[in-house]
């Protein structure tokens, strides 16, 4: 019984020393530049490199976890602001496109009406030749069509950027939730293991 007790104490002391050495060294270091100024990916990679895995769980310093949490929320808020800005911009582009479509429809209606008239016609109160009138009108239509096409391309690009940003925000949120859950479970398991070990040693 005494030998088993001594072996248990020796195992507990060795385990405690092994766990405390990296934790002590880790606690003596300050947060490095990747955590303070790096991108969210750089911060994740830095913490992954600098933390150790024990029994399938990764331990992370509380201040670094809180800093990573704040940075993640800041990134999410910034992405939300970008999405809102792009959404407002897209609404403005849609209105411009609708206005251009209405103008283009009116011009085409005017062109159909004019094509049925005589060669000489009035254009803004001035009588001009039909061919000249058609040239001017089609020039305006081409210009408006170009503007409409450019507006549509800008809207399409903004829509693509908005969708991409939304997907990144969702992925980032899921990664952060999973990481936070894993960190909490790791702390809870380590606390429970420590409590069970103390209870076992006291019972022994």
CATH number of the domain to which 130 belongs = 1.10.287
| 160 found inside a domain | yes
Backbone angles phi, psi at 128, to 5 degrees: -135, 165
| 67 found inside a domain | yes
CB 185 within 8 A of CB 57: yes
pLDDT value of residue 146: 92
| 125 found inside a domain | yes
Convert the pLDDT of each residue in 59-118 to its tens digit. 888 887 888 888 888 888 988 899 999 999 889 888 888 888 888 888 888 887 776 665
**Residue 179 structure tokens:** 């990481």
pLDDT value of residue 122: 61
**Residue 71 structure tokens:** 């940075």
| 34 found inside a domain | no
Structural domains in the chain (count): 1
pLDDT value of residue 15: 44
| 199 found inside a domain | no
| 80 found inside a domain | yes
Distance CA(22)–CA(43), nearest Å, equals: 20
Measure the CA angle with vertex 87, ends 74 and 69; round to 5°: 10
Q: Which of 198, 89, 97, 112 is nearest to 149 (CA)?
A: 97
Residue 132 pLDDT greater than 90, yes or no: no
| 78 found inside a domain | yes
Distance CA(94)–CA(72), nearest Å, equals: 32
Q: Mean pLDDT highest for which of 21-25, 27-31, 130-134, 188-192? A: 188-192
Average pLDDT estimate for 165-171: 87
Lowest average pLDDT, out of 24-33, 142-151, 167-176, goes to: 24-33
Residue 54 pLDDT greater than 60, yes or no: yes
Residue 34 pLDDT greater than 70, yes or no: no
Residue 160 pLDDT greater than 70, yes or no: yes
Q: Which domain holds residue 172?
A: 62-189
Measure the CA angle with vertex 179, ends 174 and 180; round to 5°: 100
pLDDT value of residue 147: 92
Q: What is the pTM of this model?
A: 0.34
């Amino acid at each position: 019984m005494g030998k088993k007790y001594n072996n248990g104490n020796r195992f507990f002391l060795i385990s405690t020393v092994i766990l405390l050495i990296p934790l002590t060294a880790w606690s003596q270091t300050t947060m490095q530049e990747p955590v303070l100024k790096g991108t969210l990916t750089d911060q994740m990679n830095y913490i992954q490199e600098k933390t150790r895995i024990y029994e399938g769980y990764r331990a992370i310093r509380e201040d670094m976890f809180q800093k990573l949490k704040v940075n993640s929320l800041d990134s999410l808020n910034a992405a939300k602001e970008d999405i809102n800005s792009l959404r407002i911009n897209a609404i403005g582009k849609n209105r411009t496109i609708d206005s251009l479509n209405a103008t283009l429809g009116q011009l085409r209606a005017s062109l159909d009406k004019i094509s049925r008239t005589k060669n000489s016609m009035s254009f803004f109160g001035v009588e001009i030749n039909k061919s000249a009138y058609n040239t001017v009108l089609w020039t305006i239509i081409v210009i408006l069509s170009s503007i409409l096409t450019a507006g549509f391309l800008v809207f399409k690009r903004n829509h693509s950027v908005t969708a991409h940003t939304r997907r990144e925000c969702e992925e980032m949120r899921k990664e952060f939730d999973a990481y936070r859950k894993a960190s909490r479970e790791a702390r809870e398991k380590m606390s429970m293991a420590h409590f069970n070990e103390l209870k076992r040693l006291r019972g022994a």
